[in-house]
Amino acid sequence: MDLLVVGLGNPGTEYEGTRHNIGADAVERLVARHHGSLKLEKGLHARVGQIRIAEHPVLCAVPLTYMNESGRAVAPLVRRAGIDGGPDAEDTTSGSEPGPAKRLVIIHDELDLPSGRVKVKVGGGTAGNNGLKSIHAHLHTADYLRVRIGIGKPPGRQSGADYVLKRPGADEREHLAVAAEVAADAIELIVTHGVEVAMNRINTAE
């Protein structure tokens, strides 16, 4: 598998359309764009589907765990995709091919970016995102790729926890829908042109 793309969120209808689920929304849009579908797969805590982007196989997934347990879904997905660096993984040590962690992309919401802004990042901290904290704990690495979708800071004294679990108003919802498509664009760029090109194009876009 060339790439594993995981969109974070919370399962259940009560969380659909909330800010915290924008990563999952982006993966669903990417899969639909390439005429795929996400289905339950035995042994995985996720809905999973394989698509092809410019003839490159890409495994896409949306965890069925809650956000703060995302790592419990991502760890077996990494093994399923054969990118964990184990004996069944493809050899990516030669040339300019990325190592195992660089073939995992997590799409997630980001409080530290303005609502609707999208940025591609390699490794780094969690910025308080409980999904990333869980993934760190299970994978024992922070070197995977991230596509960060900005949701902005909570207004006034509203807590971050309450803010991310709210559904945005109509204007913001429209901005986030566009951002989810841009996140899907970012994945296509990573697959076809590499992460550096994706960062240059996505991170500098107005």
Nearest alpha carbon to residue 140 among 178, 205, 198, 85? 85
- DSSP category for residue 53: E
Query: For residues 64 and 205, what is the distance between their CA atoms, to the nearest angstrom?
Result: 32
Q: CB of 98 within 8 A of CB of 33?
A: no
195-203 and 170-193 helices, crossing angle to 10°: 150
Residue-wise pLDDT tens digits, 191-200: 999 999 999 9
Please confirm, yes or no, whether 20 is among the known catalytic residues: yes
Distance CA 205, CA 109 (A): 18
Q: Is the domain 3-203 a CATH 3.50.50.60 member?
A: no
N- to C-terminal Cα separation, the chain: 32
- Give pTM, 2 decimals: 0.91
What is the domain partition of the chain in residue ranges?
3-203
Give kind and range of the element (H or E) at residue 145: strand 145-150
Task: Give dist(CA 162, CA 26) in Å, integer.
Answer: 21
The distance from CA 81 to its chain's CA centroid, rounded to whole angstroms, is: 15
Higher-pLDDT residue of 97, 205: 205
Q: What pLDDT score was predicted for residue 91?
A: 39
What is the largest distance, in Å, between two alpha-carbon atoms of the chain? 51
- At position 10, the amino acid (one-letter code) is N
Instruction: State residue 206's pLDDT score.
Output: 67
Residues of the chain with pLDDT > 90: what percent?
A: 80
Q: Which of 20, 35, 56, 108 is catalytic?
A: 20
pLDDT tens for 5-61 read 999 999 999 999 999 999 999 999 999 999 999 999 989 999 999 999 999 999 999
Render pLDDT for 110-165 as a digit per residue (tens, 0 to 9): 999 999 999 999 999 988 899 999 999 999 999 999 999 999 999 888 888 899 99
